[in-house]
Structure 1
Amino acid sequence: MSDKVAVDLVELRYGGHQLSGWHVESSDTFKVGFRRMAEAAETGWVGASAKALSEKLDALQASARAVTTRLGENANGFVHAASTYDVQDTAAGATLGSADAAEPPLASAQDDHPPLNL
């Protein structure tokens, strides 16, 4: 296992934007498709058949909404993760690179909580 972590922030953001595009495309595609199916179902379907078809369309629409919602959430998550990593990495780099970085104080006998001997 490597001791180094490599994160390509450009690729992470790009992946998020790709997911966002797929979210929009799939939402639009589902919307158009379900509208066409509903229009087709209005003509020629009656009684129990019409009710069954309507219930199935409702279930399919709920599933489609769940999928597209997850795509949107994941897209936002990728972009947010890249931004958060960038901010934290920059702050950590500044701290590590700082000549003024203070040494942590060593515990003395007067401290209430001396260090553990592990």
Structure 2
Amino acid sequence: MALDAVDGEPPEGRRSTVAEGDLERLRAEVDAGALAETLNELDAGGFVGREVEAGSPPRVAYSLGERGDRALRDWRLYRSGVVTCRRCGDRLHDVRGCSYCSGTYCSTHRLPENHDCPGIE
């Protein structure tokens, strides 16, 4: 279910937010503590968004965050053979990522200071 939408849009009727329980059922062999820790790290990094609904037990749902959405978009483009500069959109033939944020940029925007790199302060 979680990977159904990786190469395209989610199938009709599927939601873009996945409940934590659904994730646990998908990966039953993964330790629950390790899954929770990983999801917390992904949330802290902006790769996923976490929404908690009050209740007993509380219901927790996850959706792609801004960085996760960008990473998925870049991965789809890479898989399709089309990689573009995140800054200007030019098609790249020589794919090299920024060593700080892993973004793909053309030769003009490859340096961190030329693409407002979030990986440097």
Whichever structure has more strand as a proportion of its residues is: 2
Structure number with higher helix proportion: 1
Question: After TM superposition, is the score higher than 0.5?
Answer: no
Normalised by the shorter chain, which TM-score bucket? under 0.3
